[in-house]
Chains A and B, each alone.
Chain A
Amino acid sequence: MKELAQEISARFNELGVEIPIGEIEERLDKMINKFKVPKEEARRSVVNYFLKSYNINRNEFYTGQSDSPVENISGATEDGKWLGVRGKVIQLWDNSHESISQVGLIGDETGTIKFTVWESANAPLVEENKSYLFKNVVVNEWNGKFQLNVNKTSSIESIDDDIEVGNATVGFSGAMVDIQSGSGLIKRCPECNRALTKGACMEHGKVDGVYDLRIKAVMDDGVSVQDAILKRDQVEDITGMTLESAIALAADALDQGVVLEQMKGSLVGRYYRIKGVRIDRYLLVESIESVFSYEQSELDELIAEAEVI
């Protein structure tokens, strides 16, 4: 608590206001120890009290603080985290509310994320395909997805660099423990490329589908689970079954399901190493390889480890 009091006192000092540290401590003590107020709340309340009694503008107290560090977009995965982002605005969407100035998608080398610029931020308008430095924005989680909020403590600066938007590829190595429905030989809508369910597209209704191969796999390494989507290239690569032979197989059996059965038989229960781009809960696989063997050194290391326990 002493530290907290000193911190507050130091901050007021910077603004040229001397507050007896005893007074701060006394207030904090009353809040925290007597009234069981959580530390952060107590701090806010004490700060507010002194701001009022010395007539200091709130914004002056808070915005004077150093900006949050600039980080990669892939690092924006914690609700309530403050950071700065250097990125290119990829898309702007129609905003639905008068208190929102702009909504869109910003990306950097490591990924993309949705952002919302609030009207109250008083920020300059951004344009598509231009790069900006978003200072002091806060990460917000909704429905398991992250987004950035540009609010009144944030600022937006235009920068001249053209930032290459990329997707960080991630790898996963483990056993394929399941292949989900919607895998194998499927049909896609010729107009929107969506997978058809029972011969119908969600958007365009009954259509003549185009055949495709895909696998929605569940990978598991004993510690975590990763859903993965394999597109036709990877499916053909790993199963050795081409789209043509899959169609022939299905035609012979009068059943598309046999393709899936055969794929399950040859893939499930085996180990693979995959690499790809993470989109929502899926890893969009760019490369997949079978794992057949391990290094002798791995075995020796584990034996050594087991021996010393």
Chain B
Amino acid sequence: MVGYSREVARRVFAQEFRESNLTFKDGDDQYAPQYLMTPTGAKVNRVFIVGTLIEKEDIGTDSEYWRGRVTDPTGSFLIYAGQYQPEAAQILAECETPAFVAVVGKPSTYTTGEGDVLTSVRPESFHIVDGQTRDLWVLETAECTIERIKALEDGTSPNIQKAKEYYDPDIKHYSSIVLDALKSLKETF
């Protein structure tokens, strides 16, 4: 296929992901991909997360519908997998908690009656990994986030403009999230 390129899986910490609530499409086409813009200007159509699965629950009524909570040093991601994510749902159903997991998925948002926007992840793949991979992810996500924060300060790309106008992000807030995450790698248990 000409002109098609796979969406990059962005690296975003849980706290930043939770604080995101701007979704949009490029263009009016019904098949245009949906994006979630995060406060530091990551344009997310796919995320890659490695964290600890700490809770899981089957919240489905008729068929299985699994909800998992995956934490990173800054907070947690909610993962929902149902019949249309059979591979992920199966692994979620079978695995023990806590466990280190790697999730590739699409961001999705839900607006509550009060108008709050909740973000979650619909997994394309869900696999058990190890602690080293999780640490590597924290490092990589910190690096990506630092890059975005820097671009936020002096960049002028449309994404950055959009994020700035909508969120008016507090740069100190996000740099301290990154710093805390990195420092958590220094702690030995």
Interface residues of A (CB under 8 A from B): 143-144, 175, 177-178, 218, 220-225, 264-265, 268-271, 291-294, 298-299, 302-303, 305-307, 309
Contact = CB atoms under 8 A, between A and B. Distances in A.
The 6 closest A-B pairs by CB, nearest first: A269-B102, A309-B175, A222-B11, A306-B179, A269-B127, A222-B144
8 contacts: A143-B2, A175-B102, A224-B8, A225-B7, A271-B136, A293-B136, A294-B136, A299-B139
B185 A269 contact: no
A299 B185 contact: yes
Interface in B118-142: 124-125, 127-129, 132-133, 135-137, 139-142
A296 to B, nearest CB: 9
B179 A269 contact: no
B9 interface: yes
A213 to B, nearest CB: 20
Contact of A309 (B9, B171, B186): B171
B142 A220 contact: no
A307 B146 CA distance: 10
Contacts of A291: 136
Q: Give the dominant DSSP class at B's interface.
A: helix
Interface of B: 2, 5-11, 46, 48, 50, 87, 101-104, 124-125, 127-129, 132-133, 135-137, 139-144, 146, 149-150, 153, 171-172, 175, 178-179, 182-183, 185-186
Contacts of B183: 303
Nearest to A307: B179
A86 B49 CA distance: 46
A268 B136 contact: no
A291 B141 CA distance: 16
A143 B1 CA distance: 10
B132 A292 contact: yes
A265 B101 CA distance: 11
Contact of B48 (A144, A222, A294, A309): A222
B182 A175 contact: no
Contacts of B5: 225
Nearest to B139: A294
A269 B50 contact: yes
Nearest to A281: B5
A305 B149 CA distance: 11
A215 to B, nearest CB: 14
Contact of A268 (B7, B102, B144, B153): B102
B127 A264 contact: yes
Contacts of B144: 222-223
Contacts of B9: 175, 177, 220, 222, 225
Contacts of A305: 146
A265 B128 contact: yes
B135 A294 contact: yes
Contacts of B171: 309
Nearest to A271: B136
Contacts of A299: 139, 182, 185-186
A268 B104 CA distance: 9
A270 B102 contact: yes
A298 B136 CA distance: 11
A303 B179 contact: yes
B176 to A, nearest CB: 8
B6 A222 contact: no
Nearest to A175: B48
A308 to B, nearest CB: 9
B182 A220 contact: no
A305 B145 CA distance: 11
Contacts of A269: 48, 50, 101-104, 125, 127, 129, 133
Contact of B8 (A144, A220, A292): A220
A302 B117 CA distance: 31
A224 B103 CA distance: 18
A306 B182 contact: yes
A269 B11 CA distance: 13
B127 A178 contact: no
A264 B125 contact: yes
Nearest to B102: A269
A19 B99 CA distance: 79
Contacts of A224: 8
